[in-house]
Amino acid sequence: MAVRIPIKGSKKLLNAWAFYDWANSVYSLVIASAVFPIFYGALFRAAEIEKIEVFGGEIARAPLISYVTSSAFLFIALITPLISGIADYLGNKKVFMQFFCYLGAVSCIGLYWFSLESIYLGLTFYFFGLVGFWVSFAISNSYLPDIAFPEQQDRISAKGYSMGYLGSVLLLVFNLLMVMYPDLFGIAADETEGAEMKAMKLSFVSVGIWWILFSQYTFFHLPKGNRRDGERHHVILNGFRELKGVWKQMGQETRLKRYLIAFFIYSMAVQTVMLIATYFGEEEIQWGSDNQRTLGLIASILVIQLVAILGATLTARASEAFGNIRSLIVINILWIGICIYAYFLVTPMEFYIAAAFVGLVMGGIQALSRSTYSKFIPNTIDTTSFFSFYDVSEKIGIVIGTFLYGLVAQMTGSMRNAAIFLGIFFLLGAILLTRVDKKTRN
């Protein structure tokens, strides 16, 4: 039987790669951004408590989920180089992508049993859901220079994000209907739990099923991976050695190094916004009632996702006309304005307006950041290590960003002050991006 060899740059291969965004983006929307944060807050409100005894002491709900999130990203930052090293030397990164895809999907299904009574089990599922999503996504990113030529990468990267936004919105709308009209889906309240809470838990299950089901198309067409030549000693630690080698090689790649430093700074803020936007809206906006809060927050996330499709497409066009770096500088400046505006948000309508602007720049900065890095890395088959470095930088930035955000909010007593603080990172990012294309002195 002949072995099917995917053709680099072919429409079928590019679409299959982009389709993984359709499969896995439901996690980032339903679990990370929309339904789970609302469900998590509702658990504490239903129990009429703000703190819970866990990890040997009492801790409030917001710091608890923040610390678990930071721990998960620290774990991701540590494990990604290990996976990178093994995948590069064995040439089977698709197997690792599949493993972490299924780990994340099963963990989403496990969130059905999340409760304050079994908080450790629930937090474990939440932890590994994050791990599964981000590690599989990192491996998917590393495929970009393998499957697309440089002139194709901006558009296919934007297409992936757009497909992800569209697919996740479709599932979120379905979940929203379940939450609003549980009777239509045969979801009824019982003595211990309301119908709305049950609908939210079933939405977690739907995410896991969607993720597993639609990822099969991607896995069928993606190549197994490039096997790196050389000896097979110390395979497990080779990932860290390769990161060191990537950093050393960047000494000769000034443009790439400058870009990565700028990305590290502004990505702290981008990812922190993604992770805390719903929690911000839940605590700082005057919704009026719990039902209005639930529907309003989900509606705002829908606005972000729908506008993000347009944002990713417009940014790809802008990069063609004005260049990647100039486009990224403008996007960072727009982010600064959003952070300042967030400080003054009070009403739901103001929050919706902010959500629309966030969506416009969210899709653009993510897609363009990924494709810009792909263009800057040197010609090599060792793409996994370079993208591992990229993803480790991003995850360490998330750990720092979420920690500092929580620290500022705790010290000042307001998440609004923390939003202004994030604007500083976007300002620094824009300044550092201006240096990327500057000539170096000999």
Listed by start position, the domains of the chain span: 11-433
Per-residue pLDDT tens for 199-226? 999 999 999 999 999 999 888 888 876 5
Q: Say what percent of the chain tops pLDDT 70.
A: 87
Report d(CA 114, CA 161) in Å as an integer.
Answer: 29
Per-residue pLDDT for 1 more than 70? no
What tokens appear for 34 in the block?
A: 């929309």
- What superfamily in CATH does domain 11-433 come from? MFS general substrate transporter like domains (1.20.1250.20)
pLDDT band at 113; cut points 50, 70, 90: very high
For the chain, the residue count is 442
Per-residue pLDDT tens for 231-251? 555 555 666 666 677 777 666
pTM for the whole thing?
0.77
Residue 287 is predicted with a pLDDT of 82
Q: Say what percent of the chain tops pLDDT 90.
A: 18
What tokens appear for 52 in the block?
A: 């819970």
Angle between helices 348-376 and 290-322 (to 10 degrees): 40
Cα distances from 203 to residues 33, 55, 207, in angstroms, run: 13, 28, 6
Per-residue pLDDT for 442 more than 50? no
Range scoring the smallest mean pLDDT among 225-229, 245-249, 323-327 = 225-229
Beta strand pairing call for 51-54 and 57-60: antiparallel
The number of CA neighbours under 13 Å toward the Cβ of 92 is 6
Angle at 40 between CA 280 and CA 418, to 5 degrees: 20
Report d(CA 72, CA 61) in Å as an integer.
Answer: 17
Q: Report the SS3 class of residue 59.
A: strand
